[in-house]
Amino acid sequence: MRKLIVANWKMYLTLSQSVALVKKISKLETLNPKIALVLCPSFVALEEVAKVVKKTKIKLGAQDVEPERRGAYTGEVGLDDLGEIGVQYVLVGHSERRRMGERDDLVNKKVKAVLKDGMRPILCVGEPLTVRRKGMEEVRGYVGMQVRRGLLGVLKKDLKRVVVAYEPIWAISGNGGHEDTPENATKIHGLIKRIVKSVPVLYGGSVNSNNAASFLSAKGIDGLLIGRASTAAKEFEKIVAGI
Ligand code: PGA
């Protein structure tokens, strides 16, 4: 099965920088048939990035979404907007959104709204350092709960469009950036796969060209969610070349 590589550009790049980057990396997927590539630019950059990837196999993802339909939701971006641009994946419940107060019930609402519109949610889960310090049993409880609550009420037939991304918060660059090990990640991936069978589970958290291959070769890791290292063309090319 092809490895799913999702680039989360967060708020690292401006519109013009996003366009410059996508032009540099738009041939990457054809260079490596072992991967499927999804780019998640900022909302502002989505449309221009979409124009560049249109003739490639690269898919487009959004970093978040408003689950309500149209209406009085100042500052939000809805599924209709994403659909018109050709977005197929949506990151949901990223820890940098949860940090701003997004709770499991809203995450769950977003997951269901994304599925209803025929797109694929990438449900992000992961524990803070305070939980990891208590040991792996605590981590299992914490992450297991996030997965169950995030997917509450999702129909079995829709589950095959769900992707889960396990990202220990303390391992994300900018949030601590301590690297986790593939051995630890594998344990949590195993847990997630026991809760939701046959769902691809990605790993994220300071993935770079030095550690990407070892995470990807660990059992149960079906792909990567890459932030900072995906925003520099050369580093990202190195990651893809090493897969
Ligand atoms: P990072 O971010 O690769 O910069 O650690 C990953 C993520 O938060 O999705």
Statement: residue 84 has pLDDT above 70:
yes
Question: What amino acid occupies position 141?
Answer: G
Alpha carbon distances (Å) from 208 to 164, 176, 239: 20, 15, 7
By CB neighbour count within 10 A (0-12 exposed, 13-18 middle, 19+ buried), where does 99 fall?
exposed
Confidence of residue 177 (pLDDT cuts 50, 70, 90): low
Confidence of residue 73 (pLDDT cuts 50, 70, 90): very high
Whether the CB-CB separation of 50 and 60 falls below 8 Å is answered with yes
The number of residues in the chain equals: 243
For residue 179, what pLDDT is reported? 86
What mean pLDDT comes out for the span 122-135?
A: 97
Q: What is d(CA 204, CA 122) in angstroms, rounded to the nearest whole number?
A: 12
For residue 88, what pLDDT is reported? 98
Confidence of residue 163 (pLDDT cuts 50, 70, 90): very high
Residue 204, ligand 1, Cβ within 6 A? yes
Ligand 1 mean position to 116 CA, how many Å?
A: 27
Which of 13, 122, 207, 230 should be mutated for ligand 1, with most atoms under 8 A from CB?
207
For residue 85, what pLDDT is reported? 98
What mean pLDDT comes out for the span 130-145?
A: 97
- What are 78's two structure tokens? 């809805």
Residue 35, ligand 1, Cβ within 6 A? no
Residue 58, ligand 1, Cβ within 6 A? no
174's torsion region: left (phi>0), alpha (psi -120 to 50) or beta?
Answer: left
Confidence of residue 75 (pLDDT cuts 50, 70, 90): very high
For residue 31, what pLDDT is reported? 66
For residue 51, what pLDDT is reported? 97
Statement: residue 63 has pLDDT above 80:
yes
User: At CB < 8 A and 24+ separation, what contacts does 11-17 make?
Assistant: 11/42, 12/227, 12/228, 12/231, 13/41, 13/42, 13/45, 13/231, 14/45, 15/42, 15/44, 15/45, 15/48
Confidence of residue 239 (pLDDT cuts 50, 70, 90): very high
